Amino acid sequence: MPRILIALLTALLVLAAAPAAQARERVASPRFHIMPARFSAIVSVGERYVVYGEPHFAGHTVWSADTKTLTARELTLPAGCRVWAGETSEHDRFLAACAEGSIVVDAATGATLWGPQPAGDGLGGAWDTEQWRWVGDQWLEDMDGTVLNWHTGERRTPGTTQEMADLDDPGLGAGRFCRPFQRDDRWAAGQQDGRLVFVRRGPRADRAFYVGRCGSSELTRVYAFRLTRPISVGSDSILGGWAVWSSGSSCGGTIGSYDVRTGHRFRWTTTGVHGRRCFSLDKTRYAAVITYEMGASQWDGSDEEYRLRRLAIAHPPR
């Protein structure tokens, strides 16, 4: 008889817990705000600001979207400078290319923080080889592996630094997670925010992404990437304590997010961009950032055609 009572109590507890478990995935309708100006490429996705513009054209203006206030402003670069197809920075600054070399630009104000100065050995050469390609908190790196501390002026040549060095580290050490995740690949600064880490495990065709905490081996599965199913894409960032991902090519009804603090999972019904064809999905500390394609294309005067895009930003449900 006691065993029957125990079984009944267990069943009741399971039934009582089921709604709470199901409630962990919630439907949310965050409104995406469309930013001004059409563009061909995102220049930089930082902690707060997203810079976008026309790297393929000679214009020297770009737009900077503030993902906290959901507003955007036009930035004017110095005469003779323009953004180019360099790699994006995860900080609120970006690189612009000038005749005398590269400059580091503040994404919030458009102010020049450093430069211009050419990349490589500084002796000149082809225009694109004179430009720095990556910018960190401390260091710049060019296409050949030369690095320059843009605060102190220290320059190191290829082969004198370790591969995939951390450009935020004054000592230029290898980018590593905290314990016990030192062996996990860290390919983006936004993968760690305080004690939170965002790691991927599994083979390339079947990877899962997890959130963990420094000092603990416990991991929470967030989403999976499978080549055998509609492709999932997601941001590398866990900044702000949340993650976001999407599957399929349509912006409508395919976005999900996870809030580390509450443990809630959300399935988004996207308002403002429903049915648009998403080109990319990124995030900052404050918002999800969608790039969606327009119907029109634009030519740069050569044989290449560039699809025009728009930027849409939404604060996540929490």
- Tokens linked to 250: 């349509």
pLDDT at site 246: 83
Q: Which residue range(s) make up the domain with 300? A: 177-318
Q: How many residues does the chain have?
A: 318
- Asked if residue 28 is part of any domain, the answer here is no
- Asked if residue 287 is part of any domain, the answer here is yes
pLDDT tens-digit readout, 123-150: 544 455 578 988 999 999 988 888 999 9
Q: Are 307 and 294 in contact (CB under 8 A)?
A: yes
Residues 156, 183 share a domain: no
Residues 157, 120 share a domain: yes
pLDDT at site 203: 75
Please choose, from the candidates 251, 254, 261, the residue with its C-alpha nearest in 3D space to the C-alpha of residue 34: 251
Taken in order 113, 115, 116, 120, the sign of the CA dihedral is negative
State which of 122, 145, 175 marks the end of a domain.
175
pLDDT at site 199: 94
- Please say if the pLDDT value at position 313 is more than 50: yes
pLDDT at site 85: 56
- Asked if residue 4 is part of any domain, the answer here is no
Residues 166, 221 share a domain: no
Q: What mean pLDDT is reported for the chain?
A: 79
- Please say if the pLDDT value at position 228 is more than 60: no
- Average pLDDT for residues 9-35, to the nearest whole number? 59
Residues 125, 42 share a domain: yes
- Please say if the pLDDT value at position 268 is more than 80: yes
- Please say if the pLDDT value at position 18 is more than 70: no
- Please say if the pLDDT value at position 90 is more than 50: yes
- Asked if residue 27 is part of any domain, the answer here is no
Residues 230, 277 share a domain: yes
Best-predicted range by mean pLDDT (20-29, 92-101, 218-227, 244-253): 92-101
- The total domain count for the chain is 2
- Asked if residue 15 is part of any domain, the answer here is no
State which of 146, 175, 204 marks the end of a domain.
175
pTM: 0.84
- Average pLDDT for residues 195-222, to the nearest whole number? 89
- Average pLDDT for residues 169-191, to the nearest whole number? 88
- Tokens linked to 91: 């900080």
Best-predicted range by mean pLDDT (103-117, 129-143, 220-234, 237-251): 103-117
- Average pLDDT for residues 50-58, to the nearest whole number? 75
Lowest mean pLDDT among 96-110, 125-139, 205-219: 125-139
pLDDT at site 145: 85
Residues 197, 163 share a domain: no
- Please say if the pLDDT value at position 297 is more than 60: no
Q: Are 167 and 119 in contact (CB under 8 A)?
A: no
- Asked if residue 11 is part of any domain, the answer here is no
pLDDT at site 314: 94
pLDDT at site 50: 95
Residues 198, 107 share a domain: no
pLDDT at site 262: 93
- Please say if the pLDDT value at position 7 is more than 80: no
- Average pLDDT for residues 32-49, to the nearest whole number? 90
Residues 126, 216 share a domain: no
State which of 135, 152, 175 marks the end of a domain.
175
Q: Are 73 and 81 in contact (CB under 8 A)?
A: no
Best-predicted range by mean pLDDT (60-74, 115-129, 244-258, 268-282): 60-74
What dihedral do alpha carbons 153, 159, 164, 165 form, nearest 10°?
-40
The CA–CA distances, whole Å, from 29 to 8, 70, 241, 279, 315 equal: 39, 16, 20, 20, 10
Residues 238, 224 share a domain: yes
- Average pLDDT for residues 279-304, to the nearest whole number? 73
pLDDT at site 279: 73
Best-predicted range by mean pLDDT (12-16, 152-156, 168-172, 223-227): 152-156
- Please say if the pLDDT value at position 52 is more than 80: yes
Lowest mean pLDDT among 57-71, 86-100, 108-122, 177-191: 86-100
- Percent of the chain whose pLDDT exceeds 70: 73
- Asked if residue 2 is part of any domain, the answer here is no
- Asked if residue 12 is part of any domain, the answer here is no
